[in-house]
């Protein structure tokens, strides 16, 4: 087990690594320009125009609290390079702009650090900061997941300590920053109804005072954060931005969930039977398409399947939850499993959404759920392997993403050791097989194997194989975590 001194050194090393990545001029996704444009919109335009501006194709499509965050950043950005805040200055990327935006992500990870410390102490914080998938997505690809996941962990920590209203306030603030966290709203609802509002006894006796105070906290937080946008016109526009139509069942690069396997089966049957028609799910676009051989999945079906997958979890929460704040540490695991249900069956799931499962689960492993460690390590490695294709196969990016994959995995093993991960040859064999699979598929995908075999043909095949391989392991890990929940959980 890592000592506090080792954990603190790893925390410092994690931030040093982030700072070293800043000047390397690494690949930046379109998200970099998205956030630069949002800085410009929130700084240069009145609030009433934030959600109506269409100067750039990357229009503001996050909830109001994130727009306020961009506005706060822009107050500093104007001192660094005012040109980045001109709405018409599309694709602007001066050295000062790139450095500022990269450093803003590093600063956001201070909230992740705070969440880790609040939930499990230095060891948890160190493990979170060395999560290689999170580093790849945020500090190279460019997003702010660490900041928002840190806010989620602060909310979880508050609720597990009995500070229910603070936890509810933080979660509502998070929902008003990024609406994807609706994935775990049912977990919060059932857990707090059961544990805080009096339904934990039998027969249930709701506590009206607690229910009113909790409802008031939620409602007041949402109303305050959305108050500048409460006109009907504004609300309709925000709804259109947050929930756009025309996106397909899967993202351009398939997330490793059941729909990746479904799409593959559709293509295999179509090839085997010579079926034609539909439209290609392997074209690399995120638009709606029709399956060729199988039923074309509509959004309603994904909602029903997600709800069905959620039901056993909500039942487990209802049966096992006592008064909120009893300190069993189950809540972080529940949050991870809620995200897992939505990730498995949701409509148009992004591959990056796997972080909403792995980060809460890592917190649970390091703060009271050690028997989940082996399953978590598999899931974490698969999560990183699945997001690596977000970075291009350029020499520098390829080398860095594989070094991060290895370094992050080794740090997590150090911090989670002591739970019998490699206690016998039989226990070591699955890890050796998994490492061999990563080596073979990685060589094929990232080091020229595909080009050597197919010479420019079947360009989507490496991504398809990555999605399917990772989907099998991810779904297996989800099932394993849920199966371990009864043995790890007790009525709080």
Read off the pLDDT band of 490 (50, 70, 90): very low
Per the domain annotation, does 271 fall within a domain? no
- How much is the pTM? 0.94
Between 278 and 87, the higher pLDDT residue: 87
Residue 300 has pLDDT above 60, yes or no: yes
Query: Rounded to an integer, what distance in angstroms lies between the CA atom of residue 231 and that of residue 51?
Result: 13
Residue 354: both structure tokens together = 């796997």
Per the domain annotation, does 402 fall within a domain? yes
Per the domain annotation, does 280 fall within a domain? no
CA 29 vs CA 98, 122, 139, 388, 409: distances in Å: 12, 32, 11, 13, 24
pLDDT at 195: 84
Per the domain annotation, does 238 fall within a domain? yes
Query: Rounded to an integer, what distance in angstroms lies between the CA atom of residue 276 and that of residue 69?
Result: 48
Residue 281 has pLDDT above 80, yes or no: no
Which one, of 350, 349, 356, lies nearest residue 379 by Cα? 356
Residue 419 has pLDDT above 70, yes or no: no
Residue 289 has pLDDT above 50, yes or no: yes
pLDDT at 251: 86
Asked if residue 50 lies in contact with residue 74, where contact means CB atoms within 8 angstroms, the answer is no
Per the domain annotation, does 437 fall within a domain? yes
Query: Rounded to an integer, what distance in angstroms lies between the CA atom of residue 217 and that of residue 320?
Result: 25
Rg (CA), the chain: 23
Between 418 and 388, the higher pLDDT residue: 388
pLDDT at 378: 94
pLDDT at 471: 97
Per the domain annotation, does 150 fall within a domain? yes
Per the domain annotation, does 38 fall within a domain? no
Asked if residue 421 lies in contact with residue 415, where contact means CB atoms within 8 angstroms, the answer is no
Read off the pLDDT band of 367 (50, 70, 90): confident
Residue 483 has pLDDT above 80, yes or no: yes
Mean model confidence pLDDT for the chain: 90
Least confident of 56-60, 199-203, 266-270, 348-352: 199-203
pLDDT at 366: 82
Total domains present in the chain: 1
Query: Rounded to an integer, what distance in angstroms lies between the CA atom of residue 363 and that of residue 368?
Result: 9
Per the domain annotation, does 9 fall within a domain? yes
What residue numbers bound the domain in which 133 lies? 4-28+93-244+299-488
Q: Mapping DSSP to helix (H, G, I), strand (E, B) and coil, where does residue 351 land? A: helix
Strongest mean pLDDT among 135-139, 270-274, 325-329: 135-139
CA 287 vs CA 4, 243, 290, 318, 347: distances in Å: 49, 14, 10, 38, 12
Least confident of 19-33, 205-219, 275-289, 343-357: 275-289
Read off the pLDDT band of 284 (50, 70, 90): low
pLDDT at 485: 77
Q: Mapping DSSP to helix (H, G, I), strand (E, B) and coil, where does residue 255 land? A: coil
């Amino acid at each position: 087990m890592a000592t506090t001194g080792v954990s603190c050194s790893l925390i410092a090393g994690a931030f040093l690594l982030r700072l070293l990545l800043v000047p390397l001029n690494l690949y930046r996704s379109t998200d970099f320009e998205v956030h630069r444009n949002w800085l410009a919109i929130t700084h240069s335009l009145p609030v009433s125009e934030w959600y109506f501006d269409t100067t750039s194709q990357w229009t503001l499509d996050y909830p109001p609290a994130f727009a306020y965050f961009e506005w706060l950043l822009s107050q500093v950005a104007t001192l660094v390079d005012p040109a980045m805040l001109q709405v018409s200055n599309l694709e602007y990327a001066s050295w000062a702009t790139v450095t500022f935006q990269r450093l803003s992500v590093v600063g956001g990870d201070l909230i992740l650090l705070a969440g880790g410390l609040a939930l499990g102490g230095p060891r948890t914080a160190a493990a979170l900061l060395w999560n290689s998938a999170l580093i790849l997505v945020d500090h190279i690809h460019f997003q702010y997941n660490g900041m928002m996941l840190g806010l989620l962990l602060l909310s979880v920590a508050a609720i597990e300590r009995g500070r229910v209203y603070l936890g509810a306030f933080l979660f509502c603030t998070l929902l008003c920053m990024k609406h994807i966290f609706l994935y775990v709203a049912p977990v919060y609802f059932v857990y707090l109804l059961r544990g805080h509002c009096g339904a934990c006894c039998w027969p249930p006796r709701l506590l009206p005072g607690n229910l009113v105070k909790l409802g008031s906290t939620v409602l007041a937080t949402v109303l305050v954060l959305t108050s500048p946008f409460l006109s009907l016109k504004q609300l309709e526009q925000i709804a259109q931005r947050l929930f756009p139509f025309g996106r397909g069942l899967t993202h351009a690069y398939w997330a490793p969930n059941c729909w990746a396997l479904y799409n593959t089966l559709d293509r295999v049957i179509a090839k085997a039977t010579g079926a034609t028609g539909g439209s290609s799910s392997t074209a690399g676009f995120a638009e709606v398409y029709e399956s060729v051989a199988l039923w074309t999945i509509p959004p309603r079906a994904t909602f029903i399947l997600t709800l069905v997958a959620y039901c056993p979890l909500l039942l487990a929460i209802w049966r096992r939850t006592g008064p909120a704040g009893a300190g069993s540490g189950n809540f972080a695991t529940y949050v991870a499993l809620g995200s897992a249900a939505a990730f498995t069956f949701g409509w148009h799931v992004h591959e990056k959404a796997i972080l909403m499962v792995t980060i809460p689960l890592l917190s649970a492993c390091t703060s009271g759920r050690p028997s989940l460690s082996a399953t978590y390590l598999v899931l974490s490695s698969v999560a990183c392997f699945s997001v690596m294709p977000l970075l291009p196969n350029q020499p520098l990016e390829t080398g860095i993403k594989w070094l991060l994959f290895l370094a992050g995995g080794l740090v997590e093993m150090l911090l989670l050791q002591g739970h019998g991960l490699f206690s016998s040859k039989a226990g070591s064999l699955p890890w050796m097989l998994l490492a061999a699979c990563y080596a073979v598929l990685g060589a094929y995908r990232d080091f020229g194997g595909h080009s050597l075999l197919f010479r420019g043909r079947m360009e989507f095949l490496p991504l398809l194989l990555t999605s399917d391989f990772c989907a099998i392991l991810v779904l297996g890990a989800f099932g394993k975590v849920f199966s371990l929940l009864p043995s790890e959980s007790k009525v709080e």
